[in-house]
Amino acid sequence: MKPKCFRVVKPEIRVLGVDDGKFVPHVKGQVLVVGVVFRGGYWLDGVLHTRVDVDGFDATDKIAAMITCSSHCKQLRVVMLNGITFAGFNVVDIKALHKVTNLPVITVTRDKPDLDEIREALKNLPESERRWKLILDAGEPLELSTRNEQEKIYVQATGLSMGDAEKIVRLTSTRSSIPEPLRVAHLIASGIGGA
């Protein structure tokens, strides 16, 4: 698929921020995943949710369905994920997510992913090679800073140029170093997850 090219990033661009709630690691179960529809870095327009298996393989399909089944879908212009692993090592195939939703996908993390550590942790899980491949496929993260030069964040982009991803990440980081849709998705998922 051809990457989406943003001629202009509108201040109220509709962004879906996605994060997961708390869970007990390595214990079979489902984890709340929250999607927040934001207008740029300003206003909450809606809240979606789904549930994914701890260390499972359903995060891509569940998040895609959460988006495509939502009444907000047509307004959305980009999806932002808090990293590509949900509920432990339920890894999102961001290329497949882009393809199914027809939306560019940006991942943002506060820490630089430590690939050696991840590879080691994956050894304890079934189908570790399949998970590892998805992690490598997501591409090398770009280091950048938004509001505070000292606070680095790490960004991956699929379905749009890294330049456009950077613009959108900066535009939506209105309150902290993290884009507001992800900051709020985190507050909601961690405040309610386990409910």
Can you tell me which of 32, 52, 63, 97 binds a copy of itself, judged by CB under 8 A?
32
The answer to the question of residue 184 lying near a copy of itself (CB under 8 A) is yes
d(CA 168, CA 191): 26
The answer to the question of residue 47 lying near a copy of itself (CB under 8 A) is yes
Strand order in the sheet with 152-158: 43-53, 30-39, 14-20, 78-81, 105-109, 152-158, 142-145
The answer to the question of residue 187 lying near a copy of itself (CB under 8 A) is yes
Nearer to a copy of itself, 110 or 175 (CB): 175
Stretch binding a copy of itself (CB under 8 A), from 75-83, 99-107, 147-155, 181-189: 181-189
The answer to the question of residue 190 lying near a copy of itself (CB under 8 A) is yes
With CA atoms as reference, report the closest residue to 92 among 100, 101, 79, 83: 83
The answer to the question of residue 188 lying near a copy of itself (CB under 8 A) is yes
The answer to the question of residue 51 lying near a copy of itself (CB under 8 A) is yes
**E strand segments, the chain:** 14-20, 30-39, 43-53, 78-81, 85-86, 90-91, 105-109, 142-145, 152-158
Interface positions with a copy of itself (CB under 8 A)? 32, 34, 43-49, 51, 175, 183-184, 187-188, 190-192, 195
